Amino acid sequence: MTTRDYKSDCIIFDDSYEGYSAKNFTLPGIYEKHISTILVPSGMIENRLERMSIDILSEYEKSGVQSVYVICILKGGFKFASDLFKSLQEYSFTRRNYIKVSIDFVAASTYVDDSVGHDTKITPCTNMEKFRDKDVLIVEDMVDTGTSLNELERFVKKYEPKSVRSAWYVVLML
Query: Domain residue spans in the chain?
Result: 20-171
**Burial of residue 166 (number of CB atoms within 10 Å: 0-12, 13-18, 19+):** middle
Contact by Cβ (8 Å): 164, 136? yes
Q: What is the pLDDT of residue 119?
A: 74
At 5-51, the pLDDT tens digits run 445 567 777 788 899 999 999 999 999 899 999 998 989 889 999 99
Instruction: Give the active site residues.
Output: 144
Query: Does 92 have pLDDT greater than 90?
Result: yes
Instruction: List strand residue ranges (DSSP E) for 1-45, in order.
Output: 20-21, 37-38
The residue-averaged pLDDT of 126-135 equals: 94
Query: Does 123 have pLDDT greater than 50?
Result: yes
Class of CATH domain 20-171: alpha beta
Query: Does 114 have pLDDT greater than 60?
Result: no
Residue with the bigger pLDDT between 112 and 154: it is 154
Q: What is the pLDDT of residue 2?
A: 36
Bond before 33 cis per omega within 30 degrees: no
The 3-state DSSP class for residue 39 equals coil
The residue-averaged pLDDT of 130-152 equals: 86
Q: To 5 degrees, how large is the angle CA 51–CA 99–CA 55?
A: 20
Contact by Cβ (8 Å): 61, 99? yes
